[in-house]
Amino acid sequence: MLVDAFFENVKRDGQNVVLRFDPTPPQHMQVACLWTRTEIPGRDDLWSFAAITDDPPPEVAAAGHDRCIVPIKSSNVGAWLAPDPSRRQQLREILADRERPHYEHQLAA
């Protein structure tokens, strides 16, 4: 998934607020995701996906969130999108060898 920001819910003074996190400098991020298709007899297939998250960098944690998306390097996109089933460890290596932008945040909603 290609994004240039991400949004998270955090508690502020007992209230739920939405923060927008932007990488600095501004850049597109290629976020690692998992997807699946579930076949449901007699109904349309259900397609779903989830962005992979990990422990947050200090600036995201300081803003009040405990997870952060995992942006992968451009050089790893092909291997991520067409993984070799015999090399599952390669996927873990791609997640570890990620982009690590600094994030600024602002109130989104």
| Domain encompassing residue 15 | 2-107
The CATH number that applies at residue 66 is 3.90.1680.10
Query: Mean pLDDT for the chain?
Result: 96
pLDDT for the residue 5: 98
Q: How many domains in the chain?
A: 1
pLDDT for the residue 85: 87
Condensed to tens digits (0 to 9), the pLDDT of residues 32-58 reads 999 999 999 999 999 999 999 999 999
Q: pTM above the 0.75 mark?
A: yes
Q: 31 and 81 in contact (C-beta within 8 Å)?
A: no
